[in-house]
Structure 1
Amino acid sequence: MARDAVPFDAAFDPAEERTLADALARIIGDRDIVMLGESSHGDGASIRLRGRLVELLHRRFGFDVLAFEADFWSVTRGWNDVSRPEQIRPFAQTNIYDFWGRAPAVDGLWAYVETVFRAGGRLDVCGFDCRLKGAIARGGVVDVLRPVATAVGLPDDAFEAFVRGYAALQSAEFDAPPEPAVQEAYFAALARFVSLLRRDDAAPGDVGGQILAELASLDAWARFAWLGHSRDEAMAANLGWLIRHRYPGRKIIVWAHNNHILKDSSVYLDVRDKGPAAQIAAMTDAQKTALSYVGAVTSRAFPDRVCAIATTLGRGQFSALSHKALDGSEIDFSVTRPVPPQAPDSLEAELLNRGSEAALIDFSGLAHDDFFRSRLLDLSFSAEAPYGRGYDAAIYLRDGDGLA
């Protein structure tokens, strides 16, 4: 694979690049959902690169929706209220996770979105994460839903049960789940709310359809935080709603972690290394069956439409505190750690030995049982796995750097 990798300039000009664009055209084909991943949220080099990839996909391939692994409510609703280019960065900084909304590494992406907006072009932004960590959701969910609840006849005590549960999610999430009675009342209130909306025959795609999707996501967030249910299933449901109802007929770029864009859960289940293999062996058959990823669920829902492209690093640095941004906090981008040393038999080590600065690796020729070692699942560990089942391609960058 390393021998056949397509080298390119990591600092390419999206308006001029030809080699990478031609290679991507062969990999993407006529698929209209392209998922771009990163092996760490602290990987500033891959974030900068993907900003240029968004511009290339928009300019050359006509992709005009950018869907983030970020707050479904805040980003999707909030984008409707962005009417001037100067509103874009403040919107991103307060509603998208810090490593993608505020970090200097993402400046190029937001500068391009501003440029498109200023020129009257179209590049819409949305989010699909069930975890509501943006400013708009923190301050607005209850205020938006209260008059809707009143209009459809949801009793006040049921709505207040929802308010209590939502407050618990915002204040503690995983750290201090509320008492079971509060959880049960929250779920019951949402179920009744949904039933009343459906009684009024709200059609998907209109205001009621969006609220139905948002209520389902609010239910899924609590089940993830309190009961350990799948976040990926919830995110995939939100992404599916966006594809079907908010942006039908549009070409969509999905921006997420490598792990979430996997198109086949067997990539992880078949990992051969001791650490992950021990965890997998401890899983029940039901847990293995239920294991899901956004990429896998979306690929099943939209056959032959999804292309997943992961990224990986050879050496350098990455920002060490990116995980702290997942609770909605601002982080210090300047705190870095070295990229872990590569295993001698890994894809990254071979590309390092070849001196490649940046390269695109096409996995389309791999067989179902072709295993190789890489850090594609996550920068924190190297694993031997059948990556070709889960990704259509990977982009390798030799030199990693932080978010600052």
Structure 2
Amino acid sequence: MKKFYVLPLLAFITIPSYGQSQIKKYVESNAISINSIQPDFADYTDLEPIGKAIGDARIVMLGEQGHGDGAAFLAKTRLVKYLHEQKGFNVIAFEGDFFGLNAGWDEIRKEREQISKFLYDNVYTVWTRSKQCSDLLYDYIPGSYQTNIPLKVTGFDIQLYLDHSARHLKIYIDTSLRQTNIAFVKTKAYQDEFLPAVEGLTKGWLVGKETELKVLEDHVAVILNQLGDRNNEYNWLLLKNIQSFAAANLAARNHHEATEIRDRQMAENLEWLVRKKFPNEKVIVWAANAHVSKNATTAFKFKNSRKNWMGTIFTSDSLNNASTYVLGIASRSGVHQNVLEPTPTKVNAPQKKGLEN
């Protein structure tokens, strides 16, 4: 593949009132040609129009149409390098485990082998086992720690089940709550129900167990009420993630509801990251197109896509909206294959008057 077109999703989802002819004219006058999607293509001249469009935004969200799109992974890796080296972005926030990619990442020694192993164990398999992501995860990010501009890693997803969470979340929560001396910690329900449920959530034992999930959700509500304030905002937010993860599992049969629970909490997590943990730094967000979509409740044609996705919720705040630029990636044809799937699948043919045409 010699050329790849990266189209700014932001532009198209902020002009929903355009007719087909206006959109076609807009695309023809604003599309740019990308010389290469290969991560080692270091001449960034072709990406400068994207940099100009991003301008002073301190948050750039990079989407992908599916988690089996290797071409998108390559293109996003090259964009990450460009943003890091040319535009001053020094944080990459993955659609990944909020506890593991914050508490866990902050603890590890920033040595190449340690970083590579940690990322392999604590970033989702769809990326860590994909050869198209290996340059980013096992070369570029670890290598950046041998320079004076390291690329810091964080995550914002509520799904707390990867290696670090499975091994450490229960202990971390227990230690933190015992230091608060709230009444619930002294109860039998805390020891016999809450802590085992936290462990079960991280290890997948509670999948389909509605009673245990509801008890966990209710217990977290009690804890948050007894804590009262948010003087340790990370721990407060972590408890809300446990609650949201339990609630999303409870709603698993209603995909629309489960998705909105997840994305609402992810938006809150991202808000905390950019406002509190990294208030003076520029952040790259790596996620699916849907999660980073702006104005999704009004812009999408299909009702099933009109959800309160993370990007829509996050940019509903005027400050966030002014400082955020969104890039979605789409393909007109080809095949895709998630690493967990046995065979590749053809990309769905676009609509006759769809964006890809």
Return the TM-score normalized by structure 1: 0.72
**Deviation for aligned residue 1:88:** 1.7
Q: Does 1:130 align with 2:138?
A: no
**Deviation for aligned residue 1:345:** 2.7
In the alignment, what sits opposite 1:18?
45
Q: Does 1:94 align with 2:121?
A: yes
DSSP 3-state at the match of 1:126: strand
In the alignment, what sits opposite 1:112?
140
Q: Indicate if the aligned counterparts of 1:39 and 1:312 stay in contact, CA closer than 8 A.
A: yes
Deviates more, 1:11-20 or 1:165-174: 165-174
In the alignment, what sits opposite 2:327?
309
Give the letter for the 1:73 counterpart. F
1:134 and 1:184 map into 2 onto residues whose CA distance is: 22
In the alignment, what sits opposite 2:197?
165
In the alignment, what sits opposite 1:394?
none
Q: Where does the alignment leave 5 or more consecutive residues of structure 1 unmatched?
A: 281-287, 323-330, 350-404
Q: What CA deviation, in whole Å up to 9, does each residue of 1:316-352 have, x standing for no partner? A: 2211x45xxxxxxxx36x7312222333333323xxx
DSSP 3-state at the match of 2:107: coil
2:243 and 2:323 map into 1 onto residues whose CA distance is: 28
1:174 and 1:318 map into 2 onto residues whose CA distance is: 31
DSSP 3-state at the match of 2:308: coil
CA, structure 1 residues 46+26, in 2 after alignment: closer, same or farther (shift >3 Å)?
A: same
DSSP 3-state at the match of 1:68: strand
Give the alignment of 1:132-151 within 5 angstroms. 132-151=160-179
In the alignment, what sits opposite 1:318?
336
Q: Indicate if the aligned counterparts of 2:59 and 2:285 stay in contact, CA closer than 8 A.
A: yes
In the alignment, what sits opposite 1:325?
none
Give the letter for the 2:310 counterpart. V
Q: What CA deviation, in whole Å up to 9, does each residue of 1:190-244 have, x standing for no partner? A: 233334444xx653xxxx3211110111111111111345211011111111111
Q: Does 1:50 align with 2:66?
A: no
In the alignment, what sits opposite 1:365?
none
In the alignment, what sits opposite 2:297?
266
2:296 and 2:333 map into 1 onto residues whose CA distance is: 28
Give the alignment of 1:75-94 within 5 angstroms. 75-83=101-109, 84-94=111-121
Q: What CA deviation, in whole Å up to 9, does each residue of 1:145-188 have, x standing for no partner? A: 11222222222424232223334434557851332xx3443233
Q: Indicate if the aligned counterparts of 1:14 and 1:55 stay in contact, CA closer than 8 A.
A: no
CA, structure 1 residues 175+195, in 2 after alignment: closer, same or farther (shift >3 Å)?
A: closer
In the alignment, what sits opposite 1:296?
312
Q: Does 1:236 align with 2:267?
A: yes
Q: Does 1:3 align with 2:6?
A: no
1:342 and 1:202 map into 2 onto residues whose CA distance is: 47
Q: Indicate if the aligned counterparts of 1:65 and 1:251 stay in contact, CA closer than 8 A.
A: yes
2:187 and 2:85 map into 1 onto residues whose CA distance is: 50
Aligned sequence identity (%):
25
2:56 and 2:309 map into 1 onto residues whose CA distance is: 23
DSSP 3-state at the match of 1:64: strand
Give the alignment of 1:374-389 within 5 angstroms. none
Q: Does 1:226 align with 2:228?
A: no
2:285 and 2:155 map into 1 onto residues whose CA distance is: 9
Give the letter for the 2:323 counterpart. R
1:299 and 1:178 map into 2 onto residues whose CA distance is: 33
In the alignment, what sits opposite 1:32?
58
DSSP 3-state at the match of 2:210: coil
In the alignment, what sits opposite 2:13?
none
2:93 and 2:194 map into 1 onto residues whose CA distance is: 28
Return the TM-score normalized by structure 2: 0.81
Structure ranking higher in helix proportion: 2
DSSP 3-state at the match of 2:281: coil
Q: What CA deviation, in whole Å up to 9, does each residue of 1:254-292 have, x standing for no partner? A: 000000111112345x51xxxx45x58xxxxxxx7xx31
CA, structure 1 residues 82+168, in 2 after alignment: closer, same or farther (shift >3 Å)?
A: closer
DSSP 3-state at the match of 1:315: coil
Q: Indicate if the aligned counterparts of 2:336 and 2:347 stay in contact, CA closer than 8 A.
A: yes
1:212 and 1:77 map into 2 onto residues whose CA distance is: 14
CA, structure 1 residues 342+188, in 2 after alignment: closer, same or farther (shift >3 Å)?
A: closer
DSSP 3-state at the match of 2:108: coil
Q: Indicate if the aligned counterparts of 1:14 and 1:53 stay in contact, CA closer than 8 A.
A: no
RMSD: 2.3
List, as ranges, runs of 4+ consecutive aligned residues in structure 1 with deviation greater than 4 Å: 171-175
